[in-house]
Structures are given as structure tokens and as C-alpha cells.
Structure 1
């Protein structure tokens, strides 16, 4: 496998939405209700990403990971309401979990997150939390609840770097 990282393009957004849907369904299958996991299917997340990118492109950074013509991961980062940079998304195709794609995407994102950044993660997403902690992120005590589909979902905030 040869992984290439590049800036996301408008033509990637449908694939980003599809990958986001599959990645989320895989990561949250034992955490959220099945009806919640259905939210964004049938191309709806691709439409959502297309609309979001229209407005956020000047201030946000979308990076995609590809293997040939196959989209296998992406990151999305930009300004946070917390007046720092936020890693809004890092998703890897479930078939490529454990292959190093996530580590490449994180290594690419970290220089753009300085001097301080945050991300939000579901408390029960143990695999993601271990991944973030290995990359130097730590929970900072902040929490929030957010609507996902038909379910209120708790999140915990992680900060980077470990020293403010």
C-alpha cells in the first residue's frame, strides 16, 4: 500500500462523506443506537460535507489520504469556538485501521494545530482515545452533550500539547 496525503478537493467531498459515515458506524457500533448510526447515510454526509466546505474552505484545512485512487482517510481542522485550533475530524476507512494511515494523518495535522488545539471524543470510543493519547493529547476535563441523529451524545474534550 502506498499512502499519499494531499489537500482535499471539491471532488473528494462525496467520498469524504461516505468514508465519514462508514468510519463513524464502525467506531460507534457498540456505543450508539443503530438508529443514530444510520444518520447521514445514503450520501447525506457527502452533501453535508459539500455544504460545509463551501463556507469553511477559507478557514479550515481538509487533508485526504489516498491509496491510488481510493480515499482511505481524512483530517479536518480549523478555528474552534475555544479560540484555539480544533481537530474536527480524523477518520480512516475501517479496512485500513491499524495500517498506519491514522498516524500519518495525525503527524501531518499536528504542525497545523500549534500552539494549542482541542478535539472532542465520545468517552466510550476507547480505540480513538488510546490513539489520541499516544499522539500526545490528553483529556482536559471539559465535557459537552451534542445531538447526533436522534440521540444526545456526551463528549469529552482532549487538548494538545500536554502542557499549556
Structure 2
């Protein structure tokens, strides 16, 4: 499968919200409750991405993967809270493209940019998301022992931090 990667444009933000909503529902099914998965809406996530991008576009990078005219995935990265550390804040593939190399292409594209921000990069993943954890581990990321609890749709969910040298 051939996908093209490019910087996101303003008119990508609502489709990104839609993809994020569907990706989250698919990836987190069985990990969080159905009520948490349906919290908000694709339009609400589009608004959220529009607002976030408005404030962070000078310090962050939003990249989309497209297959023809279909949005297949996206990444969002920038500086972490810790000085000299980069953070991969989001990597999502449309459920129809999972397992077809979109995530790998996005990750390979993100790594050099993470390295321009810091010498180390971090990301957070749901502790129970074994598929995502295996994906990151195959890419050289390692759980570094830091954990947190964050809400998805008002439901607290355990997360594990992964890190790697970039």
C-alpha cells in the first residue's frame, strides 16, 4: 500500500477529529467502557484539534498520511514537559488501514523530527493496549517505568510511558 505523508493543513483538522474518534473506538474497545468510547463526537474532536493546532502550531508538528484522497492516519509531536525531551503525543491510523504499514510509515517519519527536538523521546500508551505496546516495542521504544492515570470519556485509564533515544 502506498501512502503519502505531508504536513497537515487547516482543512485536515475536522477529518483528523473524525479519524481520531474512530481510531480510538477501535483501538480501545475492550479496554475502556463503550460509554467512554462514545464520549464526545467526531465533530467535537475536530474542534479540539482545531483549537490545539491554533495554539501549538509554532512548536508542534502535525503530519497526515493519505492514500489517494483518503486520510489514513496522522501523528502529532512536539516538545515534552521535560527540557530536551520530545513527545509523540498522537499516532493514529484509520481502522481500515491498521496493519497495512500506515503506522510504521508515520513512525519512521516522526523519529527524525523527534530527534530535532531532543535526544530522547517519550510517548504514552494505555497499559492494557497490548497491540500498541507491541508496535512501539518493535520500533525500539521501551517502557521506562513511569505511569499515570488519565481519563478517556471521564473514565480513568492506566497509562505507561515509553521512551527511546532519537
- Is TM more than 0.5 here? yes
2:140 is aligned to 136
Number of residue pairs aligned between Structure 1 and Structure 2: 162
In the alignment, structure 1 residue 112 sits paired with structure 2 residue 113: yes
Aligned to 1:27: 27
CA contact (8 A) 1:62 1:74 kept: yes
Distance 1:8 1:149 in 2: 26
CA contact (8 A) 1:36 1:150 kept: yes
User: How is 1:1-164 mapped onto 2 (pairs within 5 angstroms)?
Assistant: 1-83=1-83, 84-114=85-115, 115-161=119-165
Residue ranges of structure 2 left out of the alignment (5+ in a row): none
Question: Is contact 1:35-1:150 (8 Å) kept?
Answer: no
**Residue 156 of structure 2: SS of its match in structure 1?**
strand
Deviation string 1:103-142 (CA, Å, 9 cap, x unpaired) is 1000000111122100000011011000000110000000
CA offset digits 1:131-164 (Å, max 9, x no partner):
00011000000001112212111111000129xx
Structure 1 gaps, min length 5: none
**Superposition deviation, residue 47 in structure 1:** 0.6
Cα drift, residue 82 of structure 1: 2.3
Distance 1:6 1:135 in 2: 21
Secondary structure in 2 aligned to 1:113?
helix
Cα RMSD (Å): 1.1
Preserved CA contact (<8 Å) 1:31 1:125:
yes
TM-score by length of 2: 0.94
CA distance in 2, matches of 1:98, 1:104: 11
| TM-score normalized by the length of structure 1 | 0.95
Report the CA distance between 1:40 and its aligned residue: 2.9
Q: Distance in 2 between matches of 1:30 and 1:14?
A: 26
